[in-house]
Chains A and B, each alone.
Chain A
Amino acid sequence: MPAFLFVTVFLIYPVIDTLRISFFNRNSTEFIGLDNYEYVFTNSTAQSALLNNVLWLVLFTVLAVGLGLLFAVLSGRVRYEAMAKAAVFIPMAISFVAAAVIWRFMYAYAPEGFTQIGLINAAGTGVGLEPIAWLVEHPLPYTDVTLPGPLHTNNFALVAVGVWMWTGFAMVILSAGLKGISTDILEAARVDGAGEWQIFRRIILPVLSPTIAVVATTLVIQALKKFDMVWVMTAGNFETDVVATLMFKQMFNFSDFGRAAALAVVLLAAILPIMLISIRRFRAQEET
C-alpha cells in the first residue's frame, strides 16, 4: 500500500527520529541526555515561548469558541443568516501570511503628530488617545501597567488576529450543531415561558457541549502549532515567540537541531492528551 509507505516515511519514522535527536547535541553526533530539555524549561527565551503558547491556548480557544457560539446563535435568527456568516467566515479561506499583511496594516504605527495610516491607531488618535505600536509594546494599552509573562499588548494583538481568522470555523460547526436541535423543543420551552437566556443555558449549551468540545480540541491544536502568523507579523521579536517559531530559529539561525527537536517533542507531549481523547471519541462513534 503506497499510503503506508508515505505515512511511514513522513510521519512515523520522523516522530521516532525526532525523539532520538532531542537527546543529542546540536548536530546529533553525541548523546547529551536531557540537556536540551533543560534548555526548553529553564532558558528565559524558551520559557517565554512556552508561556506565550499557553496564552494562545487559553485566550485564543476561549475567544474563538465564545464568539463563534454567539455568532452562530444570533445569526440563526435572522433572514440574512448566510451573508452574515460569510462575512465572519471569509478569513478562513485566506492564508495566515495574507492575514498577517492585513493586520500589520491595521496595526500600523506612526509617532504622535504624524498621519496614522493604520485604522486602529487612527481611530485611537481620533478620539485623543496616543498612538500605540501594537506589535511591539508590552504595557497594557493607554496605561503604564506592565503585566508579567505572556500578558503583553503585542501578544494580545497577535491572538486577536488568530481569533479573527478562526471564529468563522467555530461558528460554522456550532451553527450546524444548532440546526440539529429540534425546533419543537425550543417552541415548547418558549410556550412554557422560558426566557431566551434560559433556553440558551438549559437547552442549547447542554445539547451543543459535545460539538463545542470538538471545536475546542481543533482550536487547541491550532494554538499549539501556531507558526505562520507570528512569524510574518513579528518574527517572534519583542518576546512574541511561540514554540514553533523558536524551533524554526533553533534549526536555521542557531543550527541546533537537538534543541529544536526537544521543542517539537514538548509540542507533541502537549497534544498527546488530545490524541487520546480523539481516539476514544472515534471508538465511541464506531460502536454506535
Chain B
Amino acid sequence: MMARKLEPLLSPADGFLPRLRKILSRWPLHVILIVTALLWMTPSIGLLISSFRPATDIASSGWWTAFQTPFEFTLDNYSDVLSQNRMGQSFLNSLIITIPGTVVPIMVAAFAAYAFAWMRFPGRNALFIFVVALLVVPVQMTLIPVLRLLTDLNMAGTFPAIWLAHTGYGLPFAIFLLRNFFGALPKELMESARLDGASNMRIFFRLVLPLSVPAIASLAIFQFLWVWNDLLVAMIYLQNPELAPMTLTINNLVSSFGTEWQLLTAAAFISMALPLVVFFALQRYFVEGILAGSVKG
C-alpha cells in the first residue's frame, strides 16, 4: 500500500507494469471494501426483491432464488397493503404529521437562534448553555407529564398534539444548529445593516434567512427524517389507528401478521421510499447536517 503515493515521485513515466503492480498490491483493500459494501446492502436488497414476489414464493423459497426460472414478480403486495391494511391512509398521516412537524420547529427555532446569535439580552449565554444541556435529555423523561397534560387538554390522540410534541423535542437541536450558523455570518454585514436603520425583523428576513438556506436545508432534512421515522412519540401521543403514521401501522402489522412477509416487505419499502429519495436528492445537505450537529441524542 505504501507504494501508492510514492510511485509518482519515483517513476514519473507511469507505465503499464507499475500500474498493474499497484493495482495488485492493493487488492486486499478493494476486496474488503467491496465485500463490506455489498454485505451492507444485502438486507435492503432482500427486502426490495421480496416485496415484488408472490406470497407463496416468499414463503417457500429464499429471495436470492428469485432470479431463477420460473421468473415471477408482481405488484399485488403493494396494492394489497395499500388498500387493505391502511397503508395508504398511513402514508397520508405520516405526511400530515411530518410537514408541520418539520416546518413549525424550524420557524420557531430560527427566531430564537437569531436572538441568541445577534441580540443582546441578560442571561443570553447561560440560557444557551441550558439549550445545549437539553439536547441530550432523553425523550422518555417527558412522556408521562406531557401525556397527562395533553389528556387534560383533551388533545391526546390528535394531530396538533403530535405537531406540538415534535416541535418541543426538535427545538433544542434546531436552535443549537441555527445559532451556530447564524453566529458565523460576517459581523460587518449585520452592523452595516443596522447602521442603515434596518430593524431586527428586517435583518432577519432580508439578510439572515436568505444567507442560511444551506443550514436550514440540512436541518429540515434531519427533522423530517426524525419525525417521519419516529415510532415512540406516535405510539404514546397518537393511540388511534385512524391517525397512525406508517411506522405505527407497520409495527401493528408485525405484531398481527409477523410472518406475512409479502405485506411486511411492501409496507416497509413504502415507508422507506420517501426518506431514500430525500437522501439521494439532498445527500450533500444531509451529510453537512450530520457534521454540524452530532451531539443530538
* Chain A interface residues (CB < 8 Å from chain B): 1-4, 6-7, 9-15, 17-18, 21, 71, 74-75, 77-78, 83-84, 86-88, 90-98, 100-106, 108, 115-119, 122, 164, 167, 169, 172-173, 176, 186-187, 190-191, 195-196, 214-215, 217-218, 221-222, 224-225, 227-228, 231-232, 235, 243-244, 247-248, 251, 257, 260-261, 263-265, 267-268, 271, 274-275, 278-279, 282-283
**Among B111, B140, B287, B291, contact of A244 (Cβ-Cβ < 8 Å):** B140
Which of the listed residues A21, A260, A264 has the most CB atoms from chain B within 10 Å of its own CB? A264
Please judge, given known A-B contacts A1-B112, A6-B167, A9-B149, whether A87 and B40 are in contact too, CB under 8 Å.
Answer: yes
B115 touches A122 (CB 8 A): no
Instruction: State the CA gap A71–B40 with chains docked (Å).
Output: 12
What residues of chain A lie closer than 8 Å to B145, measured between beta carbons? Answer: 13-14, 17-18, 21
Given the interface pairs A84-B33, A267-B138, the reply to whether A21 lies near B144 with Cβ below 8 Å is yes
List B contacts of A104 (CB < 8 A): 254, 258, 264
In the complex, are the beta carbons of B143 and A7 less than 8 A apart?
no
Knowing A88-B37, A278-B135, say if A169 contacts B61 (CB, 8 Å): no
> B1 to A196, Cβ gap below 8 A?
yes
**B152 → chain A, closest Cβ, in Å?**
12
Instruction: Tell whether, in the assembled complex, residue B60 and residue A115 are in contact, meaning their CB atoms are under 8 Å apart.
Output: yes
Cα distance A100–B235 when bound, in Å? 16
CA distance A31 to B6 in the complex (A): 73
Q: Are B295 and A10 in contact (CB under 8 A)?
A: no
The chain B residue with its CB closest to the CB of A122 is B62
The one of B164, B272, B290, B294 in contact with A10, judged by C-beta atoms closer than 8 angstroms, is B164
**Cβ-defined contact, A102 with B44, below 8 A:** yes
Contacts A15-B142, A94-B229, A232-B254 given; indicate if A6 touches B291 (C-beta within 8 A): no
Which among B138, B268, B271 is the interface contact of A268 at CB below 8 angstroms? B138
B295 and A278 contacting across the interface, CB-CB below 8 Å = yes
Whether B37 lies near A117 (C-beta < 8 A) is no
Q: Which of B264-297 contact A (CB under 8 A)?
A: 264-265, 267-269, 271-272, 275-276, 278-279, 283, 286-287, 290-291, 294-297
Given the interface pairs A91-B44, A228-B231, A279-B132, the reply to whether A3 lies near B175 with Cβ below 8 Å is yes
B141 touches A96 (CB 8 A): no
Partner of B137, one of A13, A108, A271, A283: A271
Cross-chain pairs A/B with CB under 8 angstroms, 22 sampled: A3-B111, A11-B172, A18-B145, A77-B1, A90-B41, A93-B272, A95-B271, A97-B247, A108-B259, A195-B2, A196-B2, A217-B295, A221-B136, A225-B140, A232-B250, A244-B138, A247-B143, A268-B138, A271-B136, A278-B295, A279-B132, A283-B129
Q: Which residues of B contact A122 (CB under 8 A)?
A: 62, 64
Residues of A within 8 A of B143 (CB): 14, 247, 251, 260, 264
**Closest CB of chain A to B22's CB: distance in Å?**
12
- Interface size of B as a range: 35 or more
Q: Which residues of B contact A228 (CB under 8 A)?
A: 229-232, 247
Q: Which of A2, A11, A115, A227 has the most CB of B within 10 A?
A: A11
Q: Are B231 and A227 in contact (CB under 8 A)?
A: yes
Q: Lowest 4 CB-CB distances: which A-B pairs, in order?
A: A10-B168, A95-B229, A3-B112, A14-B142
Across-interface contacts of B229 in A (CB, < 8 A): 94-98, 228
Q: A90-B41, A95-B228 are in contact. Are A102 and B6 (CB under 8 A)?
A: no
- Report if B187 contacts A (CB, 8 A): no
B125 to chain A, nearest CB (A): 8
A206 to B262, CA, bound (A): 49
B41 / chain A contacts, CB cutoff of 8 Å:
87, 90
The smallest beta-carbon distance between A102 and chain B, in angstroms, is: 5
Structural contact, B275 and A227, CB atoms closer than 8 A = no
Using A7-B131, A84-B37, A115-B62 as known contacts, list a sample of 6 further A-B pairs with CB atoms less than 8 Å apart, ordered by residue number in A: A87-B41, A88-B36, A98-B250, A228-B247, A267-B140, A278-B295
Candidates B136, B140, B231; contact of A247 at CB < 8 Å:
B140
